Chains A and B, each alone.
Chain A
Amino acid sequence: MPSKSLSTKAERLEFLQGTLEMLVLKTLLAGELHGYGIAQSIRLASNQAFLIEAGSLYPALQRLELQGLIKAEWKTSDTGRRARFYKLTVAGRKKLAASVSRWEEFVAAIGLVLHASEAK
């Protein structure tokens, strides 16, 4: 069970500040989705590396909603269940683009440092 690997604090993969929000925005880029769907989608996309608990997912969703980056609406899903569907706003798209480019810069910079130490 993948959840077992997360049972102790030390083993939990901690997100950098704002990373989870970026992943949520990215997931919603494909279309509107409910909370459970977002968590599953991230899990699958990350090849089971990121298991998003409701305890971090919902606060993140609330934060994004408060900031006006996503909008929510109660709808009936294709399986016939009522769920709250989240949708990207224009501001959300802009924010996502900015976060992604900042993230890439960050990764590139880290890569540079790591390669520099290898070259020695």
Chain B
Amino acid sequence: MTIFRRLVMLWPWIRRRSERSLDEEIDSYLEMAQAEACDRGLSPEAAGTAARRDLGNLTLTRESVRSVWIWPCFEHLWQDIGYLLRSLRREPLFASIAIGSRAFGIGAANTVFSLVDGILLKPLAYVQPGQLVYLREFVPALSHLYGTLPVNFQHFRYWQEHTQAFSGMAAFRSSGGILTNVGDPIKVEAVETTSGLFQVLGTKLALGRGFLPDEDKPGHSKLLVISDNLWRTRFRAHKSVIGLNVVWDGKPATIIGVLPSDFKFPSGNDLGELSGLGRRIQIYKTVETPLDGWDGDFDYSVFARLRNGITPAGGLSELSVLTQQFTETYKVESKPSPAGTPLQEVIGGSVRGILWVLFASVLVLLLIVCANLANLMLARAHGRIREFSIRTAPGAGVTRLMQQILTESLFLSAAGGILGIAFAALSIHLLKLNTSYALPRMTEVNIDGRVMLFSLFATILCACISGVLPASRAARSDLAEAMRSAGPAITAGHRSLRLRQTLVGCEVALSTVLVFLACLLTSSLVKLLHVNKGFEEKRATAIELNLPDARYRDAQSRMYFYERALAEVRSLSGIRSAAIVQGLPLTGESMVNGVELEGSQADWIDPATKAPIMINVRFVSPITLKRLVSL
């Protein structure tokens, strides 16, 4: 009830009416007091004075009555903001520095926070993402090359059949190809997967269905589930796409489902070495006849979903036992052991460290900005001591002055915060445009509610740090003393000078840390740019080729194609040389194989470790190395 009456008072019209009524009431009070004083025998003038004295401070009375009507802080806020706006118009330099530096500080913090939040903190966009584990294998003989490897298909099948701890598992690997029979042929990034992938991730298809358990068995016809993007661009979002027969990589296949538009699949960057996945998977198809060896061929990434109440460690220990079993049964020489990481940690894991460092540095930057502003506000507060003392004289409380300084600080920070959000939105937009940074989950990095909340927090922090010190100084400064010292020049007191010096000291210290950090990062970047790669990439160009298995069945037909293509490319004017390589230098991934020396039947053994020597293999046409270097 009371609150309702107070809210009514927020209407200026009603409040003005009440104010008039109050003034009349006070007048009638004065009259009565004066009349009584006259009755006591005082002269009319003396009676008037006595009555006014009796009444007390009129302004204060009005103020306190108004504070009953509406929350005083509310009214003061408007007063202060109005005053600040007027004074900022007079001091555009102060205004632009105060708001601009806050916008910069908060904007930088916002940008990095939205990265940290989108990449590391937000739960993955799958059902109960905490249950998802990314499985790989550890192979001692290859540990000097790769910490962990993808999973051998037979090992995966063994785990899948015997596991109790996991409710589902799916193995998949990269499989690019060409989609024909629907308009122009297009090259599409794809994965081939076992049936359970969408059940494990908990994805409900937008159209059609996912793969059924038996559909990934050898001999079953090929089935495709396509991405929302492919469905819209290539099939014009037609519902009749379900059941459509297309040609995928030279072989007939049937589309059975369309994924929802918000479905996200991790890219190769996220899943670590040798996963070989593309960045934008458009087609998911049932797995091709996988190699059936129990050793080597560590080709498949595995996602698994833990049953309720089972920890990743618990699930992994069960897999260790299973691995032990098949290693003995099938005499697996590589002696693998399973390795598992919660999917949430896998994705973004490669950039985790650097993102947190970046986040810490922008927070330090924000602190510097705040300290700087506190200093600026302190200097400004000194210029205003006379103003404050004049206002204190008719009865303004110190708390009221402190409130004003804090309001100003909050208002400036809020303005900075709003600009900061715009700043962050712009920089995130630019980051997204430049895909070469290859940050994972970039599509999930957005200026959303969480980022807004963070920037609200940053704004308030900024306002507090840059406002509290000047406000407390204003409260403690000797205003009467300031009044007495005539002239506009009131020099800063000793104490406040020391305070400002301390602030500057802190700023310098923090800035030094930041400068060192920036120098270290820049120097490693510069080093990276000047590493001798052993080849010159200027004036070189690359074309990706993908021969469908169905049309180029044997090595001979492939060889024939490549040789002809090379000869024709070389004959083009302007081409100095051409070569074929399995993967471009510094990109992609290659096979890891043991080597046999000529005349020997067994693997080449390292005399020191007694382990087979494993090497990376990449096929090139004879000309590559020589030409690449001299290009």
**Are B29 and A35 closer than 8 Å at their CB atoms?**
yes
**Are A62 and B28 closer than 8 Å at their CB atoms?**
no
Per-residue interface assignment for chain A, residues 54 to 75, with 1 indicating a CB less than 8 Å from any chain B CB and 0 otherwise: 1110110011001110000000
Q: When A and B form their complex, which 9 residue pairs have the shortest distance between CB atoms, in order from nearest?
A: A53-B56, A62-B68, A36-B32, A55-B61, A59-B64, A55-B56, A54-B55, A83-B28, A36-B29
**Are B28 and A63 closer than 8 Å at their CB atoms?**
no
Which of A36, A40, A58, A84 meets B65, CB within 8 Å? Answer: A58
**Are B68 and A84 closer than 8 Å at their CB atoms?**
no
Interface residues of B in 7-56 (CB under 8 A from A): 21-22, 24-26, 28-29, 31-33, 35-36, 53-56
- Alpha-carbon gap, A59 to B56, bound state (A): 13
Q: Does B5 contact A (CB under 8 A)?
A: yes
Which of B31, B54, B57, B65 meets A62, CB within 8 Å? Answer: B65
**Are A68 and B56 closer than 8 Å at their CB atoms?**
no
A81 cross-chain contacts in B, Cβ below 8 A: 28, 31-32
A-B contact pairs, 11 of them (CB 8 A): A34-B29, A35-B28, A36-B28, A36-B33, A55-B57, A59-B61, A59-B67, A66-B6, A67-B1, A67-B2, A79-B35
Given A36-B32, A36-B33, A68-B1: A58 and B26 within 8 A (CB)?
yes
Q: Does B60 contact A (CB under 8 A)?
A: yes
A67 cross-chain contacts in B, Cβ below 8 A: 1-2
B6 cross-chain contacts in A, Cβ below 8 A: 66
Q: Does B388 contact A (CB under 8 A)?
A: no
Interface residues of A in 23-37 (CB under 8 A from B): 34-37
- Alpha-carbon gap, A63 to B64, bound state (A): 11
A55 cross-chain contacts in B, Cβ below 8 A: 56-57, 60-61, 64
Given A58-B25, A58-B65, output 6 extra A-B contacts at Cβ < 8 Å. A34-B29, A54-B54, A58-B22, A58-B64, A83-B25, A84-B24
Q: Does A94 contact B (CB under 8 A)?
A: no
Which of A35, A66, A84 meets B2, CB within 8 Å? Answer: A66
Which residues in A have some Cβ–Cβ distance to B below 8 Å?
3, 34-37, 40, 53-56, 58-59, 62-63, 66-68, 79, 81-84
A62 cross-chain contacts in B, Cβ below 8 A: 65, 68-69
Given A59-B64, A67-B2: A54 and B56 within 8 A (CB)?
yes
Q: Shortest distance in angstroms between B5's beta carbon and chain A's nearest beta carbon?
A: 5
- Alpha-carbon gap, A54 to B35, bound state (A): 17
Which of B31, B32, B35, B65 meets A59, CB within 8 Å? Answer: B65
Q: Shortest distance in angstroms between B59's beta carbon and chain A's nearest beta carbon?
A: 10
B68 cross-chain contacts in A, Cβ below 8 A: 59, 62-63, 66
B22 cross-chain contacts in A, Cβ below 8 A: 58
Question: B55: nearest residue on chain A (CB-CB)?
Answer: A54
Q: Shortest distance in angstroms between A54's beta carbon and chain B's nearest beta carbon?
A: 5
- Alpha-carbon gap, A68 to B3, bound state (A): 12
Q: Shortest distance in angstroms between B25's beta carbon and chain A's nearest beta carbon?
A: 5
A53 cross-chain contacts in B, Cβ below 8 A: 54-56, 61
Q: Shortest distance in angstroms between A31's beta carbon and chain B's nearest beta carbon?
A: 17
**Are A54 and B2 closer than 8 Å at their CB atoms?**
no
Question: B29: nearest residue on chain A (CB-CB)?
Answer: A36
**Are B28 and A84 closer than 8 Å at their CB atoms?**
yes
Q: Shortest distance in angstroms between B15's beta carbon and chain A's nearest beta carbon?
A: 12
The CB with the most chain A CB atoms within 10 A, among B31, B32, B35, B67, is that of B32
- Alpha-carbon gap, A53 to B57, bound state (A): 9
- Alpha-carbon gap, A39 to B253, bound state (A): 96
Q: Shortest distance in angstroms between A71's beta carbon and chain B's nearest beta carbon?
A: 13
Question: A64: nearest residue on chain B (CB-CB)?
Answer: B68
- Alpha-carbon gap, A84 to B57, bound state (A): 21
**Are B5 and A66 closer than 8 Å at their CB atoms?**
yes
A35 cross-chain contacts in B, Cβ below 8 A: 25, 28-29
- Alpha-carbon gap, A55 to B59, bound state (A): 9
A40 cross-chain contacts in B, Cβ below 8 A: 36
Which of B28, B54, B56 meets A34, CB within 8 Å? Answer: B28
Q: Shortest distance in angstroms between B31's beta carbon and chain A's nearest beta carbon?
A: 6
